[in-house]
Structure 1
């Protein structure tokens, strides 16, 4: 399911227009993104938790040349499914 299909399904479930569902989904994305950028976690009980994980600097290889290269430390978004979601699947 892609984003457009997800928004259409949300609109059907909530009984709103696709435009309204898209506005609400966009707001959800912005709020979660800002929280993660600010160092916060977003926990939705039963559904899951959005957080940021630190990746350490490491050594890798250039796939085209095979030569060693350093990969800088970075932050990556992470999602952990909650128990209710796990059990539903």
Structure 2
């Protein structure tokens, strides 16, 4: 599903214009982005948690040359689905 698909679904389900639907989707994504950039976590009941974690500097190895390299510290984004979402996905797999 793409952002355009999301806009289309909001348009059909809410009755807002396509322009208003696009603004709603953009606003939600911008709020999520700003919250994660600030280092805060996002908890959506029945869906899951988005968490920004800090990875420490570590030693690695270049797989082509075998040379040891230092992998710099960085932030990563993780998503942990809620039990409700896990159950919904697994019910569809049966």
Q: TM-score range by the shorter chain?
A: 0.7 to 0.9
Larger radius of gyration: 2
**Equivalent-residue separation in structure 2 for 1:86 and 1:18 (angstroms):** 31
After alignment, is 70-79 or 56-65 more displaced?
56-65
**Equivalent-residue separation in structure 1 for 2:54 and 2:31 (angstroms):** 21
Q: How does 1:43-82 map to 2 (within 5 A)?
A: 43-62=43-62, 67-82=67-82
> How many pairs does the alignment contain?
89
Which residue number corresponds to residue 22 of structure 1?
22
Contiguous gaps of at least 5 residues in structure 1: none
Q: How does 1:22-41 map to 2 (within 5 A)?
A: 22-41=22-41
TM score, norm. by length of structure 2: 0.75
Post-superposition CA distance 1:22-79 (Å, at most 9, x none): 2111111111122122221111111111110112222334466553321111011222
Give the direction of change, closer, same or farther, for the CA distance of 1:11–1:65 in structure 2 (3 Å limit).
farther
Contiguous gaps of at least 5 residues in structure 2: 90-94
